[in-house]
Structure 1
Amino acid sequence: MALIPAQPQFGSDTPKGERDLYYMAAASPYFQGDGCFLFHSLSLSEVGRQVRGETDFVYLDDEFLLFLEVKGGVVYFRADTREWGVMGGTKLQDPFKQVTGNLFFIRDRVLPERVGRNVVNSLIIGYGVMFPESGLPRGFSAYETGSISYDTRLIYTAEDRDVPDSFASYIRRLKAYWRNHSKYRQHEGRLSREDKLRIKDFFARDLMFRPPLAGLIRQDAAETLLYTREQKWVIMASQAVGNRAGVMISGSAGTGKTVLALWLAAECVAKGEKTLLLCYNKNLAAWLRQTVKREHPELSRLLTVRNIHALYAEFVRPSGKGSQYFNEEYPKQFSLEYPTLNQVPYDRIIIDEAQDIFRESHFRNIDLLLKGGLDSNNWYIFLDRENQDIFRGFDSGFYADFITLYNPVVLELRKNCRNTPRVIRSTGLYTGIQCQEAAKTGDGLIEEHFYASETDLINQLIRRVQALVADHVDPADVIVLVPSRDLADRLPLRSPALFVSLNDTNVTHPDPKRVRVTTPGAYKGLESAIVILAGIDSFPEDDVYRKTELYLAATRATYGFVTFFHADLKETVAARKKQHFMDNPVL
């Protein structure tokens, strides 16, 4: 493809109009093949006195080199002083001077050193400015200042967007303008294919503006809202209920259930309530416990954080194995022995990821642990009963009975504040499960890779993680999730300097030099900036467990989701993508 980069690499400040132009070019037949190249975001190490400049688009073919500057929002022009106002008039900046400054630097200093003056002289070199969200500024008419021509024919406006294939049409207009410009009327030069590819390779390799991935991750983290307006409403509604009813808070992955569970736990402790924050996953419990210890040490006096089986083990030693034992028999042992121990009950119980333990055997014990039992209504339950039952602990019949018996206030979270829109779209593509609307606006990172064998998978993983580290991504911001416990154990053995198994300690205190590895189930309830899901050898058509596993993995990613599928699935993935975008054309 002639559009470089082939996948967008927008920063959080990239204007909407510039994003739209990129996607317009990506869809245009004009920018296909290798007859021409369109580069998005060329970074310059020096332009005038600036430390670094950036050109939004640069077009190259065997005859033309065109520099394009994009200005989002409404653009203003003051005729008497010839001053330009951009960004809705909030900033004085001349887009023509900006684009020509970059052009002169590349034409006169950079390219001659790289490809030779004769090669540069064989090109028609021009420029244009693009105002995709603005009309032609009022009061503007053509004029010249020094070597800069200010001409309406060089300007792309919002009206041009109505023209079919408008970006390509604009390029043709610019080519006609500069071919007939007095400077080039006698021009007869043309690049050889070899010279064109030399310039293309130089631009793509040395001048492409690629925001450091570590910086993009930090931008994304800064954009993430700790409490959305919806979450604040849920907090206030939960507190307003008091003990008139228990509160059940439902939301899909990324809607902020765990954050709210911690917040409500802190509120309960502040009122002097002895509080139990309970979940199923031991790694989530370790993270919650260490987060409280690090950020809210004052809560530790009255707040206990446990995964349910660790809580049982404090009083009753386990004597069996398997899911049947831990879901039914072990809870029964606890319910028989705990009442004889004369323990002080909790004033409040908060359950996070409750779908993992929503069965009568566990809730019988929760009733024992809470002062006044479940009838006291001093409980908050957070759950996603639709899509996250990976441990198969959810009993729908008991859930229905529970709702009937206790009649809780049910509140819903509908805004995803964890995942970027691209991660959400990819989740829907791979699983068919639609996530909630994104609160974020950034794009994030999405990658697909295919492997031929396990050896090939491991080698590709090593190279990809090494590349992330080379891009200054903190290993703590990356998690590798694999379907099997066996592969999760073998990866650190294969490359001990690069990978380490996730455990109770590094879930909150990551190794500064190694990326953690675990399974999607073991990482449930947690999140990471970049999630790498590796070793996918079957697609979740009718396999509910695999679909849940894939959904869990994708929705752990706050910024980037990287997948490694077996090569046999390449056609299946392509077909699902085609069908997904047919069903969801707005995406």
Structure 2
Amino acid sequence: MFARSFVVAPLVASRLADQEARRLVLTKDQMRVLDFLRSHRRAAVSGGAGTGKTVLALEKARRLASEGFKTLLTCYNRQLADHLSSTCAGTSNLDVMSFHQLCYGQVEKANHVSGRDLVAEAKVTYPGKGLYDVQLPNAFAYSLEVLPDRYDAIVCDEGQDFREEFWVPLELMLSDYESAPLYVFYDDNQNVYARAGTFPIREEPFTLTNNCRNTAPIHVAAYKHYKGLPVSPPDIEGDELQFDASPGRDAQAAKINARIIDLVARQGVSAGDITVLIADALRKADYYAALRRLPLPKPATWLEEGIRTNNTVLIDTIQRFKGLESPIVILWGLDTIDLTHSEELLYVGMSRAKSLLIVVGTAVTCAGFEVSEH
């Protein structure tokens, strides 16, 4: 009798664990940047997706708070702000909120103290301008005439999404306008962000050049949609992009459901490590509904646009998930958008995946995707 030799591929769960161990080493390497920041009271830090900007912003904010600075950590995306806030819960001297949460909080307090309606005043001064882009930030600036509260230090993540109008009230929110610590972390992808570079920091930015989030295949695919300073791929091997082609939305939903059942029931993956991201935000309700009616192995459940737990498979849009990450991302809703004019969506959506990226669509969509990735 001869025993046939064969190789058992490791379960996806164990591959995820191995890759996460590599990431921890790489992220420690990124912490050297904090040594640079210690000697600069104001600095901008640029880098592409996965270079560790948010990790560094969070750690810098924690360090400032621990040194006694009353610190604000702010970003553009509410989802990211909620995630960072829960990560920092209980840290003294540290407030975490999105820029617009900060605006609303300040304006509400100032209205209460002064009896004024600052947003109404801003609407009179800036008629026809956008509420979130112009009027609310200016109402925030007015609030600083009324309220004495200030921060000793501000750390900003997602700086590329901040309009020039945002920086005036943020700087005025500092206890020392000239010299209080201010750090801005931003993505320098020129394909996507036209606003980057309007920050109130005069020195040249410190550039992060190593991807420490994605596996090498995901890095290569996502960075096809990036135009900026070169970013080195990570030293993390991983699976190539995977494609599940089916003709229509319901058939595609069934494919996604079967894939998730395999990952959870047979590959040992936690449901909370899987995220389904929808590219077509305008039709998201249709995509959500198609998945929601399909059963998952207990105790796993679907979660639409919420805060995940270990037993929830999150379904969300790429835009809302910006700044966050997931070990496994299933990218869907690509059939109904123009892929040739979706550089930002593809760059952001693909780079959310840390270890495994699965693209779902029609055969034409998948074939077009595969061609563009080679």
TM range, normalised to the smaller chain? 0.7 to 0.9
Q: Is structure 2 residue 193 aligned with structure 1 residue 415?
A: no
Identity over aligned pairs, percent: 27
Question: What residue number does 1:9 align with?
Answer: none
Q: What secondary structure sits across from 1:316 in the alignment?
A: helix
Provide structure 1 residue ranges, at least 5 long, that are not aligned to the other structure.
1-102, 107-202, 581-587
In structure 2, do the counterparts of structure 1 residues 346 and 574 end up closer, same or farther at CA, with 3 Å as the change threshold?
closer
Question: What residue number does 1:364 align with?
Answer: 168
> How far is 1:409 from its partner?
4.5
Preserved contact between residue 488 and residue 518 of structure 1 (Cα < 8 Å)? no
Separation of aligned partners in 2, 1:451 and 1:492 = 15
Q: Is structure 2 residue 69 aligned with structure 1 residue 286?
A: no
| Aligned pairs for 1:128-277 within 5 A | 209-225=8-24, 228=27, 231-241=30-40, 243=41, 246-277=42-73
The residue type equivalent to 1:335 in the other structure is A
Question: What residue number does 1:554 align with?
Answer: 350
The residue type equivalent to 1:517 in the other structure is I
Q: Is structure 2 residue 314 aligned with structure 1 residue 520?
A: no
In structure 2, do the counterparts of structure 1 residues 262 and 570 end up closer, same or farther at CA, with 3 Å as the change threshold?
closer
Separation of aligned partners in 2, 1:308 and 1:353 = 10
* TM-score when normalising by structure 2: 0.84
Question: What residue number does 1:328 align with?
Answer: 134
Preserved contact between residue 253 and residue 290 of structure 2 (Cα < 8 Å)? yes
Q: Is structure 2 residue 182 aligned with structure 1 residue 379?
A: yes
In structure 2, do the counterparts of structure 1 residues 264 and 227 end up closer, same or farther at CA, with 3 Å as the change threshold?
farther
Separation of aligned partners in 2, 1:289 and 1:436 = 29
- Deviation string for 1:154-213 (max 9, x for gaps)? xxxxxxxxxxxxxxxxxxxxxxxxxxxxxxxxxxxxxxxxxxxxxxxxx9xxx6512111
**Alignment counterpart, residue 256 of structure 2, candidates 433, 455, 461:** 461
**Alignment counterpart, residue 302 of structure 1, candidates 93, 96, 102:** 93
In structure 2, do the counterparts of structure 1 residues 567 and 493 end up closer, same or farther at CA, with 3 Å as the change threshold?
same
Preserved contact between residue 492 and residue 501 of structure 1 (Cα < 8 Å)? no
Q: What secondary structure sits across from 2:303 in the alignment?
A: strand
Q: Is structure 2 residue 220 aligned with structure 1 residue 425?
A: yes
Question: What residue number does 1:313 align with?
Answer: 104
Q: What secondary structure sits across from 1:224 in the alignment?
A: helix
Preserved contact between residue 488 and residue 519 of structure 1 (Cα < 8 Å)? no
Q: Is structure 2 residue 155 aligned with structure 1 residue 350?
A: yes
The residue type equivalent to 1:480 in the other structure is V
Separation of aligned partners in 2, 1:454 and 1:486 = 12
Q: What secondary structure sits across from 1:262 in the alignment?
A: helix
Structure scoring higher RCO (CA < 8 A, sep ≥ 6) equals: 2
- Deviation string for 1:67-101 (max 9, x for gaps)? xxxxxxxxxxxxxxxxxxxxxxxxxxxxxxxxxxx
Q: What secondary structure sits across from 1:304 in the alignment?
A: strand
> How far is 1:214 from its partner?
0.7
Preserved contact between residue 71 and residue 152 of structure 2 (Cα < 8 Å)? yes
> How far is 1:443 from its partner?
1.9
Q: Is structure 2 residue 289 aligned with structure 1 residue 476?
A: no
The residue type equivalent to 2:339 in the other structure is P
The residue type equivalent to 1:549 in the other structure is L
> How far is 1:346 from its partner?
0.4
Separation of aligned partners in 2, 1:355 and 1:240 = 24
Separation of aligned partners in 2, 1:279 and 1:447 = 32
Preserved contact between residue 252 and residue 387 of structure 1 (Cα < 8 Å)? no
Q: What secondary structure sits across from 2:39 in the alignment?
A: helix
> How far is 1:310 from its partner?
1.0
Separation of aligned partners in 2, 1:352 and 1:370 = 17
In structure 2, do the counterparts of structure 1 residues 349 and 226 end up closer, same or farther at CA, with 3 Å as the change threshold?
farther
* TM-score when normalising by structure 1: 0.55
Separation of aligned partners in 2, 1:249 and 1:378 = 14
In structure 2, do the counterparts of structure 1 residues 502 and 208 end up closer, same or farther at CA, with 3 Å as the change threshold?
farther
In structure 2, do the counterparts of structure 1 residues 360 and 548 end up closer, same or farther at CA, with 3 Å as the change threshold?
same
Separation of aligned partners in 2, 1:432 and 1:385 = 9
The residue type equivalent to 1:455 in the other structure is D
Q: What secondary structure sits across from 1:415 in the alignment?
A: coil
Separation of aligned partners in 1, 2:371 and 2:326 = 29
> How far is 1:232 from its partner?
3.4
| Aligned pairs for 1:397-408 within 5 A | 399-400=197-198, 402=199, 406-408=201-203
In structure 2, do the counterparts of structure 1 residues 387 and 323 end up closer, same or farther at CA, with 3 Å as the change threshold?
farther
**Alignment counterpart, residue 340 of structure 1, candidates 146, 152, 170:** 146
> How far is 1:218 from its partner?
0.8
- Deviation string for 1:376-407 (max 9, x for gaps)? 25101000132585xx7x535xx35x46xx41
In structure 2, do the counterparts of structure 1 residues 315 and 229 end up closer, same or farther at CA, with 3 Å as the change threshold?
closer
RMSD: 2.7
The residue type equivalent to 2:211 in the other structure is N
Separation of aligned partners in 1, 2:17 and 2:62 = 27
Preserved contact between residue 331 and residue 358 of structure 2 (Cα < 8 Å)? yes
Question: What residue number does 2:305 align with?
Answer: 502
Separation of aligned partners in 1, 2:362 and 2:221 = 17
Separation of aligned partners in 2, 1:362 and 1:433 = 25
Preserved contact between residue 333 and residue 361 of structure 2 (Cα < 8 Å)? yes
Preserved contact between residue 191 and residue 227 of structure 2 (Cα < 8 Å)? no
Preserved contact between residue 253 and residue 291 of structure 2 (Cα < 8 Å)? no
Question: What residue number does 1:533 align with?
Answer: 331
In structure 2, do the counterparts of structure 1 residues 325 and 226 end up closer, same or farther at CA, with 3 Å as the change threshold?
farther
Q: What secondary structure sits across from 2:172 in the alignment?
A: helix
How many residue pairs match? The answer is: 348
> How far is 1:330 from its partner?
1.3
The residue type equivalent to 1:212 in the other structure is L
